[in-house]
């Protein structure tokens, strides 16, 4: 008999509601759940691939151990857990606690069990060598949030359903489906802005899918956004357009910001940024004159040399124009599982630079070191060298800068274990792989993305399919390892118990919020639009917004010096490389779904016609792209979408690596852009990798 199951898609940040028809253990159909109060029926092509992942013959279900000849043997769970614990403990006894490193990948934040059980596991490792995908992604957002609002998770969310003016720097929500702005059906929401007479402006070195639909697109040279933002602020103060609105009473540092931006006139930054002074002034004026407006910046301004400065200045623009904590501006969420309130004490100012990386001396943030230093921490001998690695749902060989160096580093380890569902570019280097259930086999509540959504909603998804007798959930694997490493018995909590505890003690307790309630409301519960929340929700010491933290002001000098003296482009590497997301990819790990990789080769180098002409390149020609750290080959795709001097390659490809066991992906290998990105090219302030604006050269083959 065909039955229907409702759940939230856990693949990207959009949290689309799914309606799944199934019969016994077979998925018959996946479509959007029109009754989901948040997504209202929206889905993208990746949702259907949940079926492919569930059925994928290459997906692992039981522990694997590498034999001396490099082949894999299946072993039992108890044996695997014991071996991992024994090997880690032996290495820590011999070399010290920090000899074990851990890397957490992106799917952790899309997995309730992992979110709730990773903390104790990490603690049980007692190492300072912790890494995650945060430092190739949103670290600058956390950095600005911590310094300005007192908590690293106090990230302002654009209230796009009510705004009159959306200014986007370096995000492409029509493809990414929205990020640090969970907004299922973002196309509908963007269209609605225009239908109610509002405007969308996109600032991007590529005329992206979103830019094409916007009212205006402005090309900007990669890595120079901070200068555009400074010039906008300069204009605001020069014209006297600043008006802090409701936050004026509890905002510190206005005069300091005003002074800091004085030198950055639109005329001064025009040549470096590629944005004319007139454009900057017009844009600023339109932003200030709108009833409500919000400036939003994502990956393009986060994963660049001035990521920290950019995210800070974006907050500053929202604040000084009175658009922070205002309807239609940048607002804070109030999720039913209230991570911000619960972790308040941990997230306060001070969670930065408590220790530094051994080799390069980069500061930790929130207990993590930048992943750009991971390879050198493994490769550089001396006390504190990493000798063993644990990866949890991460593929840093394809996702972090200088992937080839990291591969070499992994080969040198004494021990490595990967909690992963595939033998892929990273886990193939491990001695043991511990695979968990995934997707349709897991119960889900979005602990993270409800907290970053444009509307407050709550939804619980039970597992669709029972796991097989011998399969383990991520949280069960983490718990088994934690008890062995810590020597303490488990407290017996399950993710459901912890979730219920948080829901019943959360901000909607008076409304009877509980797991039982969510289990009854299969489509999810609407908790209403975002509401003003300040100053109550601030975590800064004096409960004021900090407009001008000193450490950020001080970084302005680096910005000026960089573009004056050290502009990274030179004769050897004259082009700037940026990335691009693709609708049918999800970072590096969904290319084993046939329906997602079919069709033309999508791992191409986009290049402007004038640049192609100057290099004598034809559309479709094979090219070699080189950077300081390596080179790759792929096809050129000539397109005036690109700004001149800038080229784009999507990330997550490069499945030609030896020893991986993903047949479909290997047949659509592509090349890895992170064999070009540089572990030394970073935002020195936050430690985030600079994946955008990497200097490269191009040669036709
Ligand atoms: N050049 C460039 N590089 C980038 C980016 C870019 O824009 N440009 N983007 C960056 C960003 S934003 C991110 S978030 C990172 C992502 O970086 P990573 O998180 O390191 O990479 P993913 O491709 O998401 O790899 C996820 C891994 O988890 C495994 N997995 C999937 N589901 C499960 C599960 O349920 N349980 C377990 N245990 N494992 C699972 C997959 O098999 C895969 O190995 O990449 C970054 N890298
Ligand atoms: N389909 C799909 N969806 C995804 C993912 C995926 O892999 N595939 N990944 C998910 C993840 S992990 C994340 S973090 C989000 C990211 O979500 P988004 O931030 O929306 O991601 P991108 O589409 O990479 O958009 C980044 C934009 O920045 C531009 N850019 C590059 N350099 C610069 C610069 O220097 N300045 C400016 N102003 N712009 C620049 C690029 O051209 C691009 O259009 O997407 C999520 N959603
Ligand atoms: S947009 Fe994201 S959440 Fe929605 S169906 Fe696609 S992958 Fe899933
Ligand atoms: Mo990400």
- What is the CATH topology of the domain spanning 64-127+340-351+386-528? Rossmann fold (3.40.50)
Closest ligand 1 atom to 106 CA: 19
Residue of minimum CA distance from atom 4 in ligand 3: 16
Q: Supply the pLDDT for residue 155.
A: 97
Length of the chain: 701
The 10s digit of each residue's pLDDT in 564-606 is 875 667 789 999 999 999 999 999 999 999 999 999 999 999 9
Largest CA distance in the chain: 72
Domain map of the chain by residue range?
Answer: 3-55, 64-127+340-351+386-528, 139-331+536-557, 565-700
CA distance 253 to 545: 9
Q: What is the mean pLDDT of the chain?
A: 97
| Residue 50 exposure: Cα atoms within 13 Å on the Cβ side | 31
CATH number given to 3-55: 3.30.200.210
Evaluate if pTM is beyond 0.95. Answer: yes
CA distance 392 to 603: 26
Q: Supply the pLDDT for residue 348.
A: 56
Has domain 565-700 been given CATH number 3.40.30.10?
no
State which of 420, 477, 586 you would mutate to test the pocket of ligand 1, scoring each by most atoms of that ligand within 8 A of its C-beta: 420
Closest ligand 1 atom to 422 CA: 42
* Closest to 324 measured CA to CA, from 293, 349, 288: 293
State the distance from the centre of ligand 1 to the C-alpha of 149, rounded, in angstroms: 28
The 10s digit of each residue's pLDDT in 325-381 is 999 999 999 999 998 888 775 555 457 899 999 999 999 999 999 999 999 999 999
Give the number of the ligand closest to the Cα of residue 9: 3
State which of 139, 393, 581 you would mutate to test the pocket of ligand 2, scoring each by most atoms of that ligand within 8 A of its C-beta: 581
CB proximity list for 270: less than 8 A, separation 6 or greater: 276, 277, 280
* Closest to 448 measured CA to CA, from 125, 218, 181: 181
Contact between 130 and 369 (Cβ < 8 Å):
yes
Q: Supply the pLDDT for residue 351.
A: 77
Q: Is the CB of 204 under 6 A from ligand 2?
A: yes
Q: Is the CB of 20 under 6 A from ligand 3?
A: no
Q: For residue 29, what are the β-bridge partners?
A: 21
State the distance from the centre of ligand 3 to the C-alpha of 274, rounded, in angstroms: 34
**Residue 470 neighbours by CB distance under 10 Å:** 10
The pair phi, psi for residue 234, each rounded to 5°, is -55, -45
Distances (CA, A) of 584 to 128, 540, 647, 653: 36, 41, 21, 12
State the distance from the centre of ligand 2 to the C-alpha of 297, rounded, in angstroms: 10
CA distance 136 to 694: 14
Direct distance between the N- and C-terminal alpha carbons of the chain, in angstroms, rounded to an integer: 57
Give the number of the ligand closest to the Cα of residue 446: 3
Q: Is the CB of 396 under 6 A from ligand 1?
A: yes
Distances (CA, A) of 639 to 101, 577, 606, 618, 647: 42, 15, 6, 11, 10
Q: Supply the pLDDT for residue 582.
A: 97
State which of 13, 52, 106 you would mutate to test the pocket of ligand 1, scoring each by most atoms of that ligand within 8 A of its C-beta: 106
> Residue for token digits 């289990």?
519
Contact between 633 and 670 (Cβ < 8 Å):
no
CA distance 408 to 384: 19
- What is the CATH topology of the domain spanning 139-331+536-557? Dimethylsulfoxide Reductase; domain 2 (3.40.228)
Q: Supply the pLDDT for residue 376.
A: 98
Q: For the chain, list residues with pLDDT below 70.
A: 345-350, 566-568
What radius of gyration, in Å, describes the C-alpha atoms of the chain? Answer: 24
State which of 44, 171, 295, 605 you would mutate to test the pocket of ligand 2, scoring each by most atoms of that ligand within 8 A of its C-beta: 171
Beta strand segments in 483-601, E = 525-529, 545-546, 575-578
> Residue for token digits 């799914």?
18
Beta strand segments in 24-151, E = 26-32, 64-66, 72-74, 100-104, 130-132
């Amino acid at each position: 008999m065909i039955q229907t199951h409702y759940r939230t898609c856990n693949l990207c940040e959009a949290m689309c509601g799914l309606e799944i028809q199934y019969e016994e253990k077979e998925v018959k159909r996946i479509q959007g759940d029109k009754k989901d109060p948040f997504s209202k029926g929206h889905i993208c092509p990746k949702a259907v691939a949940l079926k492919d992942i569930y059925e994928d013959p290459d997906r692992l279900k039981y522990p694997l151990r590498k034999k001396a000849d490099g082949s894999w043997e299946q072993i039992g769970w108890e044996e695997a857990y014991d071996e991992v614990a024994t090997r880690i403990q032996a290495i820590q006894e011999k070399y010290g606690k920090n000899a074990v490193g851990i890397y957490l990948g992106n799917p952790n934040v899309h997995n309730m069990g992992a979110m709730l059980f990773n903390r104790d596991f990490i603690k049980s490792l007692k190492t300072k060598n912790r890494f995650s995908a945060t430092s190739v992604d949103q670290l600058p957002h956390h950095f600005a949030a911590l310094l300005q609002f007192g908590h690293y998770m106090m990230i302002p969310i654009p209230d796009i359903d009510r705004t009159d003016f959306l200014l986007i720097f370096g995000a492409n929500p029509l493809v990414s489906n929205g990020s640090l702005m969970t907004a299922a059906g973002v196309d509908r929401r963007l269209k609605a802005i225009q239908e109610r007479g509002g405007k969308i402006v996109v600032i991007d070195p590529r005329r992206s899918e979103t830019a094409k639909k916007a009212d205006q697109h402005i090309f900007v040279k990669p890595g120079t956004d901070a200068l555009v933002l400074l010039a906008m602020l300069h204009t605001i103060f020069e014209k006297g357009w600043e008006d802090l609105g409701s936050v004026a009473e509890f905002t510190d540092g206005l005069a300091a910001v005003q002074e800091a931006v004085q030198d950055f006139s639109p005329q001064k930054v025009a040549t470096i940024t590629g944005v004319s002074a007139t454009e900057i002034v017009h844009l600023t004026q339109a932003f200030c004159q709108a009833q409500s407006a919000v400036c939003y910046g994502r990956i393009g301004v986060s994963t660049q040399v001035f990521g920290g400065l950019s995210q800070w200045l974006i907050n500053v623009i929202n604040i000084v124009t009175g658009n922070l904590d205002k309807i239609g501006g940048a607002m804070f969420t109030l999720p039913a599982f209230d991570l911000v309130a619960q972790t308040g004490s941990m997230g306060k100012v001070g969670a930065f630079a408590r220790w530094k990386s051994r080799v390069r001396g980069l500061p930790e943030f929130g207990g993590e070191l930048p992943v750009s230093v991971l390879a050198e921490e493994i490769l550089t001998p001396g006390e504190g060298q990493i000798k063993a690695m644990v990866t949890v749902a991460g593929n840093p060989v394809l996702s972090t800068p200088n992937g080839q160096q990291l591969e070499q580093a992994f080969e040198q380890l004494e021990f490595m274990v990967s909690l992963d569902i595939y033998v892929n570019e990273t886990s193939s280097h491990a001695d043991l792989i511990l695979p968990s259930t995934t997707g349709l086999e897991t119960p889900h509540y979005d602990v993270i993305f409800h907290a970053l959504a444009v509307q407050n909603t709550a939804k619980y998804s039970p597992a669709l399919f029972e796991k097989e007798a011998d399969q383990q959930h991520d949280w069960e694997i983490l718990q088994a390892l934690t008890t062995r490493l810590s020597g303490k018995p488990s407290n017996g909590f399950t993710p459901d118990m912890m979730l219920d505890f948080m829901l019943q003690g959360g901000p909607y307790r008076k409304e009877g919020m509980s797991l039982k309630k969510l289990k009854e409301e299969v489509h999810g519960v609407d908790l209403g639009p975002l509401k003003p929340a300040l100053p109550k929700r601030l975590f800064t010491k004096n409960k004021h917004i900090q407009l001008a933290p000193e450490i950020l002001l001080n970084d302005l000098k680096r910005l000026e010096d960089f573009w004056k003296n050290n502009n990274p482009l030179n004769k050897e590497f004259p082009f700037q490389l940026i990335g691009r997301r693709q609708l049918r990819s999800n970072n590096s790990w969904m290319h084993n779904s046939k329906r997602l990789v079919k069709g033309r080769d999508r791992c191409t180098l986009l290049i402007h016609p004038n640049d192609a002409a100057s290099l004598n390149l034809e559309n479709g020609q094979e090219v070699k792209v080189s950077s300081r750290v390596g080179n790759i080959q792929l096809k050129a795709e000539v397109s005036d979408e690109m700004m001149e001097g800038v080229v784009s390659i999507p990330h997550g490809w490069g499945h030609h690596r030896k020893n991986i066991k993903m047949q479909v992906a290997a047949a659509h290998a592509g090349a890895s852009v992170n064999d070009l990105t540089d572990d030394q090219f970073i935002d020195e302030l936050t430690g985030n990798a600079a994946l955008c604006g990497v200097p490269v050269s191009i040669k036709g083959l």
